[in-house]
């Protein structure tokens, strides 16, 4: 089962070593008067295929697919940062996903952080935010309909055919998030959530069913947007649930990504712990710069 998603654990290795530049701008802006225009990650189950967010995502995918694999902003390169089957020695940051480790939630949050910025740039929609696929027992068990249209950039034939026709749906028993949510220890919950997460991968199948190909499927990012949301929902339950801030290794281990300009950046978990505020800080910055660009 090497390279196949299972319900629990996936392989992981260190990413390729490389020299990188440090982030040059702060990630936290704090409150702003313009934060009244919040940037929100929305539920894809409440969107139809003509939703501007999905149209913009399609536009970005198309633009990224047109770039060569060696360009960090290309669809193939971004997917390869998770893991890849592309031939040749891995390029910077390829094959770096964390599964079966304490860094599962945090690494994937960093990955989405930069992916979201790249999509904004590629679709030229500064207020774009990644939707989430709210899979959980009793919610959205079918693959979201806009991802099942063969004419769309959101579609790939490389899935379980029944999921692609809409005839198939996720097995509620396999995607039970209850055990992860009821546990109050971060590292245990971070481990347990990988079970239902892996089941979604397996049941969507095709590219999604295998670590080296999973991130080529456009639904991957909405799936992980939901996993990311689950981290916040887990914390919001309280009862002693906290991020492991006393664990220096967990907080400070650095990973390499690329920003929206294709420049290497390093990031660690302690930089992405205020997800909602960071999304809104971004919105404020964008709104301000948009206002400055308006002709009158
Ligand atoms: Cu995953």
Assign residue 196 a region: left if phi > 0, alpha if psi is -120 to 50, beta otherwise? alpha
38 token code pair: 């919040």
Q: Rounded to the nearest whole angstrom, what is the distance from the C-alpha of residue 6 to the centroid of ligand 1? A: 11
Q: Rounded to the nearest whole angstrom, what is the distance from the C-alpha of residue 240 to the centroid of ligand 1? A: 26
What does the pLDDT profile of the chain (296 residues) look like in tens digits?
A: 334 555 443 333 223 323 233 333 333 333 333 333 578 999 999 999 999 999 999 999 999 999 999 999 999 999 999 999 999 899 999 999 999 999 999 999 999 999 999 999 999 998 899 999 999 888 999 999 999 999 999 999 999 999 999 999 999 999 999 999 999 999 999 999 999 999 999 999 999 999 999 999 999 999 999 999 999 999 999 999 999 999 999 999 999 999 999 999 999 999 989 877 777 665 555 545 544 443 32
Buried b (16+ CB within 10 A) or exposed e, 191-228: bbbbbbbbbbbbbbbbbbbbbbbbbbbbbbbbbbbbbb
Query: CA-to-CA distance for 260 and 248, rounded, in angstroms?
Result: 28
pTM: 0.85
Q: Rounded to the nearest whole angstrom, what is the distance from the C-alpha of residue 212 to the centroid of ligand 1? A: 11
Query: CA-to-CA distance for 232 and 245, rounded, in angstroms?
Result: 15
Q: Rounded to the nearest whole angstrom, what is the distance from the C-alpha of residue 190 to the centroid of ligand 1? A: 13
Q: Rounded to the nearest whole angstrom, what is the distance from the C-alpha of residue 201 to the centroid of ligand 1? A: 7
CB atoms < 10 A from the CB of 126, how many? 17
Helix (H, G, I), strand (E, B) or coil at 262: coil
Q: Rounded to the nearest whole angstrom, what is the distance from the C-alpha of residue 143 to the centroid of ligand 1? A: 15
Buried b (16+ CB within 10 A) or exposed e, 54-69: bbbbbbbbebbeebee
Contacts of 21 (CB under 8 A, 6+ apart): 263, 264, 265, 266
Q: Rounded to the nearest whole angstrom, what is the distance from the C-alpha of residue 211 to the centroid of ligand 1? A: 8
């Amino acid at each position: 089962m090497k390279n196949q998603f299972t319900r629990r654990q996936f392989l992981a290795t260190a990413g390729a070593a490389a020299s990188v530049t440090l982030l040059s701008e702060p990630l936290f802006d704090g409150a702003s008067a313009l934060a009244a225009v919040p940037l929100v990650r929305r539920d894809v189950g409440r969107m139809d295929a003509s939703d501007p967010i999905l149209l913009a995502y399609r536009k970005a995918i198309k633009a990224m697919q047109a770039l060569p694999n060696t360009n960090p902003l290309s669809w193939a390169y971004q997917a390869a940062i998770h893991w890849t089957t592309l031939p040749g020695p891995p390029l910077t940051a390829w094959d770096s996903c964390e599964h079966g480790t304490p860094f599962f939630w945090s690494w994937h949050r960093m990955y989405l952080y930069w992916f979201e910025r790249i999509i904004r740039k590629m679709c030229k929609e500064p207020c774009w935010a990644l939707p989430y696929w709210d899979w959980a027992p009793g919610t959205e068990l079918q693959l979201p309909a806009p991802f099942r249209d063969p004419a769309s950039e959101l579609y790939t034939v490389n899935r379980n055919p029944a999921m692609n026709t809409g005839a198939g749906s996720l097995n509620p028993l396999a995607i039970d998030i209850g055990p992860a949510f009821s546990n109050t220890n971060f590292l245990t919950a971070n481990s347990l959530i990988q079970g239902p997460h892996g089941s979604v991968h397996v049941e969507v199948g095709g590219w999604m069913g295998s670590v080296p190909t999973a991130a080529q499927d456009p639904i991957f990012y909405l799936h992980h947007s939901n996993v990311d949301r689950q981290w916040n929902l887990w914390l919001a339950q309280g009862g002693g649930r906290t991020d492991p801030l006393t664990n220096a290794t967990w907080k400070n281990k650095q990973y390499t990504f690329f920003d929206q300009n294709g420049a290497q950046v390093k990031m660690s978990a302690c930089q992405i712990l205020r997800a909602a505020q960071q999304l809104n800080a971004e919105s404020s910055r964008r709104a301000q710069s948009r206002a400055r660009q308006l002709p009158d």
